[in-house]
Homo-oligomer: A and B are copies of this chain.
């Protein structure tokens, strides 16, 4: 259990390092009979690919995915789906320098403490490239949810001090600017802010917001396997995440019950609905049919060229400046990772929910 397996029903096992031969994932528990081709997965991978604009590392990678198993005549067979992405730039850099000290804000020190040594090439397993397996597997989960009408949409909500405006919110803008902001004005302000950060050899944090529509009520279990708890874990498993909020989030802790409770009412068709959604789509940790709405806060990219203090292998205090061009912000490329982890988590909850009622089980087997 080194921690690279996720899910209890729809299980994924990711592998690979920043500068190894390849990265990939094995998906165990994907239902049979889903149409699946490489293009389905490539679309998602392309959204996290590096080098697409000036706010992303210039590393050149196609990140072309290959399906190695589990698909026959265009359909999933129900057996493990193995996906692989070969690294192109695995030998390009000289890592002797970063091998010699601990980069502040990175996992260099903790890997050494835990394992006794580390693969120092580009962060090894703690690199952002590790998310390739998550996004590839998430693309399959997304196909499953799609067929049930469940849609997951994430975007950059804030970058440094720049927050999108509810008035200007326009989802169609998200894919039109390099910062994945659904607000063209905020995107320009954020770009200016990032340019100034980079000029100073600095980086910025930011926040991703995610909305899930078409939710089915009843997903998630009481107590430890709450849908909300599993989403919290899913999001905090992404590198650099420091906060997770569901619905009103932190504001709920400052609120009163009379304003925070969501009243129930009837819609025009006589269905029970909530008049508001402060809770963010769950009650008691179980989905209530409303949109899921949550926010994930990311710390600034730790690789900065500004001078920092640290300690080297010889246990001497030194000043360092991380070389190379790094992402000044992780948030825009993390948007698809947030969506992928949400898709994996929801798919797992969807399957788990199928055996919770005896009448449903009887219907299933007597059909």
A26 CB to closest chain B CB, in angstroms?
A: 5
List the B side residues contacting A300 at CB < 8 Å. Answer: 252, 255-257, 260-261
A-B contact pairs, 24 of them (CB 8 A): A2-B28, A3-B28, A3-B220, A13-B26, A15-B82, A21-B69, A107-B286, A108-B283, A109-B288, A114-B218, A144-B361, A160-B254, A204-B257, A206-B253, A207-B250, A229-B236, A233-B236, A243-B245, A244-B244, A253-B298, A255-B299, A257-B306, A261-B304, A265-B317
| Given A2-B80, A202-B258, A104 and B264 contact (CB-CB distance below 8 Å) | yes
Task: Give A48 to B218 CA distance when docked, in angstroms.
Answer: 29
Q: Are the CB atoms of B23 and A113 closer together than 8 Å?
A: no
Task: Give A229 to B231 CA distance when docked, in angstroms.
Answer: 10
Q: Are the CB atoms of A233 and B242 closer together than 8 Å?
A: no
The A interface is mostly helix, strand or loop, or mixed, namely mixed
List the B side residues contacting A282 at CB < 8 Å. Answer: 110
Does A266 have its Cβ within 8 Å of any Cβ on chain B?
yes
Interface residue tally on A, bucketed by range: 35 or more
Q: Are the CB atoms of A119 and B77 closer together than 8 Å?
A: yes
Listed from nearest, the 4 A-B pairs whose CB atoms lie closest are A107-B284, A3-B221, A3-B225, A253-B297
A48-60 contact mask (Cβ, 8 Å, vs B): 1 or 0: 0000000000000
Question: How many copies of this chain does the complex contain?
Answer: 4
| Given A13-B80, A116-B357, A315 and B252 contact (CB-CB distance below 8 Å) | no
List the B side residues contacting A359 at CB < 8 Å. Answer: 33, 116
Q: Are the CB atoms of B28 and A315 closer together than 8 Å?
A: no
